[in-house]
Amino acid sequence: MIARLHIGLSKLLLFSAPFLLSGCLYLGEIEAIQQVSPLEIFMSYPEEGEVMRLDQNPNTNKAFVYVYYSDSLNNIDFRWRIGPNILSSEYIPPDGVAVGSEVNIPEPDPSWNGQNLFVFVFDSGSSVSRSWPIEVIEGNE
């Protein structure tokens, strides 16, 4: 949608005085700008709505997310946390229009039982998050 402003020079001077005083004079084309699509998590483990079960086996305590993104993938930031604890994660390189992040929790703290594992995904214009309730299973080796 493009709207054009066609005003003769004499009418321009009459109409521009109030706009100049208010700082609102614009004589260029007005174009509708397509809104940038927000980030979207399309795949995760655990899946949305499932419980994150953590045991004493460091090879099984993994979670990951993949997001779709329609613009540049360069500015995406993944942040994982459990309560105030920030977890280190690995970046999964882009594949087409998707990028991901994985977290490995080698030694779960028993006090995390009943808390949530969170992932927050940010880019320059939008964000998305997901969380899973945690169940710490003690005694599994």
Segment 64-122, tens digit of pLDDT: 999 987 666 567 899 999 999 999 999 988 877 788 999 999 889 999 999 999 999 99
What is the phi/psi pair of residue 73, to 5°? Answer: -90, 5
Distance CA 48, CA 41 (A): 10
pLDDT for the residue numbered 23: 58
Distance CA 65, CA 20 (A): 51
Distance CA 124, CA 130 (A): 19
Average pLDDT, the chain: 78
Q: Tell me the residue type at 33.
A: I
- DSSP-assigned letters across all residues of 55-69: -S-TTT-EEEEEEE-
User: If you compute the radius of gyration of the chain from its CA atoms, what whole number of angstroms results?
Assistant: 25
pLDDT for the residue numbered 72: 60
Check residue 113 and give left, alpha or beta (phi > 0: left; psi -120 to 50: alpha): beta
Instruction: Please provide the CATH number assigned to the domain covering 40-136.
Output: 2.60.40.10
**First and final C-alpha spacing in the chain:** 63
More confident of the two residues 106 and 139: 106
> Residue with structure tokens 């949608």?
1
The two tokens of residue 60 are: 């099984």
- Model pTM above 0.75: no
List where CATH 2.60.40.10 sits in the chain.
Answer: 40-136
Q: Tell me the residue type at 38.
A: P
pLDDT for the residue numbered 101: 96
Segment 36-55, tens digit of pLDDT: 557 889 999 999 999 999 99
